[in-house]
Amino acid sequence: MSFIKIYVHFVWSTKNRIPFLTKDIRQSVFKHIRENAKTKNIHIDFINGYTDHVHCLVSLNDDLSIGKIAQLIKGESSFWINKNKLTPTKFAWQEDYFAIAVCDDKIQTVRDYIANQEQHHGKKTFSQEYEEYIDRYGFESIGSDLK
C-alpha cells in the first residue's frame, strides 16, 4: 500500500471570465464536482469559488496526475452544467489552471481562504488575484488562457 499526503490548490476560471457561477447555481455546481470526483477516486478536501472561478483543494493519490485531475473535474462539470442548462448560454471553463502544492502547516489557511471567496472578492477581483499568483509563484503569464 502506498502512503501519499500531497495537497494541491487548484484554481481555474470560467471561459472569458463570464460570471456564470451565480449564487443560484454555485453551490450545486460545487456539490456536483465533489460528488463526481469521488466516483473518479479524486479526494476534494475543500471547494468554493466566486462568479467566475473555482478554488479546489485536492489530496492527490497514486493513480492520477495533476493534469488528469484537472481534466476530469473541469470536463465533466462543464458537460453537466450544459446538460442541465444551468447557464443562459453554453458554459465552458478556461483551458488553463493554477496548481500549487500546499504544505501541511498551510492546509487550514488554504481551507479558510477558499471558504471566504465571496468576502475576498468583494475587495479584490479575480484579475487582481491572478496577477498576485503570477508574481508570488513566479509563473509566466504570457500566453496563459487564464488571464
Reported as a single tens digit per residue, the pLDDT across 4-61 is 889 999 999 999 999 999 999 999 999 999 999 999 999 999 999 999 999 999 999 8
What is the spatial distance between Cα 48 and Cα 100, in angstroms, rounded to a whole number? 16
118 confidence band (pLDDT: 50, 70, 90): confident
Q: Pick the closest to residue 8 from 100, 96, 98, 73 (CA basis).
A: 100
Contact 93, 14 (CB under 8 A): yes
The pTM of the full predicted model, rounded to 2 decimals, is: 0.88
* 3-state secondary structure (DSSP) of residue 81: helix
Domain architecture of the chain: domains with CATH: 7-137 (3.30.70.1290)
Please report where in the chains the cell 487550514 appears, as a residue. 108
Nearest CA among 127, 133, 135 for reference residue 50: 127
